[in-house]
Structure 1
Amino acid sequence: MRQKVLAWLAENVPVSRINHILGVEQMAVDLAEHYNLDREKAAMAGLMHDLAKYFHPQKLLQMAEVAGLEVDEVMAATPHLLHADVSAIVARDTFGVEDEEVLQAIANHTLGRPGMSPLSCIVFLADTLEPGRGDSAQLQNLRKLSSEHLEKAVWLTCDYTFQFLLLSPCLIHPRAIATRNWFLQKSKAKQPILQTIA
């Protein structure tokens, strides 16, 4: 299956993107092993997360409509945001992936989702933090954090992404904000409550 996916990717995405995909696959596997998750599922989701990355905007919209996906105003204006959900459709229809957790990890890798599974979290993190994304101090800290506190890493990786989006004319999807808020609250809830002594 892996060779079949790699052959398909070679026909449909540039080499630079394949390097990114392989980086995501490896980081997802590493995180899966660290958190005692299924490494095969992590590898599969990482390898297939960007199948629809280079689909034409109209094709993304058409496939989303046929699949009955919700296409809100932000997605209609920025069809590229659908590439994660459509990649899950390609994984299912072209490569026969039936595992719902793997399909969700593919679908959630860009915008995330409140309450997403640990597998979805590690693919979400790997997409932003794999080594090919750079080596700034902020990225190094997020990579370290991803091996220590999964939920906090998702929250702060959302913040990292928003820093770039806020400096550009890009729309920010409400689901990305909802993801950030959910994981922020989850992280805060796990912190010990410090009692102040009067």
Structure 2
Amino acid sequence: MTSVKPHRAHWDRNNVLQWLRENVPEIRIQHILRVETMARDLAQRHQLDQEQAAKAGLMHDLAKYFPPKQLLELARKHQLPIDSIDEANPHLLHAQVSAVVAQETFGIEDSDILAAISNHTLGQPQMSDLSCVIFLADSLEPGRGDRPKVQAAREMSYQNLHHAVALVCDLTLKHLVKTQRLIHPRMVLTRNWAWLEIQS
């Protein structure tokens, strides 16, 4: 079981990278670094805090490779909301558990960063622009390919965060329906919120 023991060290990017090398495959680390870079770029484009975005991007997948049992145990221990879809697919909890690891292992107390990490997979209605940035960077970093609809969403992410979130949600939901996968209700709520935001 991966350790998430608290430690008092000040934030240090190299400490996070070392932890990732010990707990995450190299191919995932390359994804994480691309997310960190795109998050910083999006933050700059939308006049947000680039350091917050980079930190959230670097730590968004800390719990990506935790076993299902550990994800459920940590979620229960920290009283995270768990529904039947999470029970059936505990991997969906990795975003919220990654925020727990960021706080307990790397001393992150910034609620905006923790929320952005928590929201990077399913989103959240009324989520902050920083959360939108991490949600989008995770889905649209260059390693995700260049299919026309992905590229269109990527270009939109530099113009309108909510519109890009809506497009990414639609792409994800279409894929889940096509592959007959479970759909978490939060993704639907996020999708509807994002479309309403751009129509208001």
TM-score range, shorter chain: over 0.9
Q: Which among 125, 131, 141 is matched to residue 142 of structure 2?
A: 131
Q: What amino acid does structure 2 have at the position aligned with 1:21?
A: I
* Corresponding residue for residue 46 of structure 2: 35
TM-score normalised by L of structure 2: 0.93
Q: Which runs of 5+ in 2 are unaligned?
A: 1-11
Larger CA Rg, structure 1 vs 2: 1
* Corresponding residue for residue 164 of structure 1: 175
1:137 CA displacement? 1.3
Q: In 2, distance between residues paired with 1:55 and 1:168? A: 24
* Corresponding residue for residue 3 of structure 2: none
1:53 aligns with 2:74: no
Deviations 1:140-185 (A, max 9, x none): 1111100111111101110011121112232110001000001111
Q: What amino acid does structure 2 have at the position aligned with 1:144?
A: E
Q: Which among 13, 22, 30 is matched to residue 2 of structure 1?
A: 13
Q: What amino acid does structure 2 have at the position aligned with 1:160?
A: L
Q: Which among 186, 194, 198 is matched to residue 175 of structure 1?
A: 186
Q: Which among 48, 70, 78 is matched to residue 89 of structure 2?
A: 78
Deviations 1:98-148 (A, max 9, x none): 000000000000000000000000000000000001111111111110011
Root-mean-square deviation (CA, aligned residues, Å) is 0.6
Q: Which runs of 5+ in 1 are unaligned?
A: 190-198
TM-score normalised by L of structure 1: 0.94
1:9 CA displacement? 0.4
* Corresponding residue for residue 99 of structure 2: 88
Q: In 2, distance between residues paired with 1:29 and 1:141? A: 20
Q: Which among 140, 149, 152 is matched to residue 151 of structure 2?
A: 140
Q: In 2, distance between residues paired with 1:161 and 1:71? A: 21
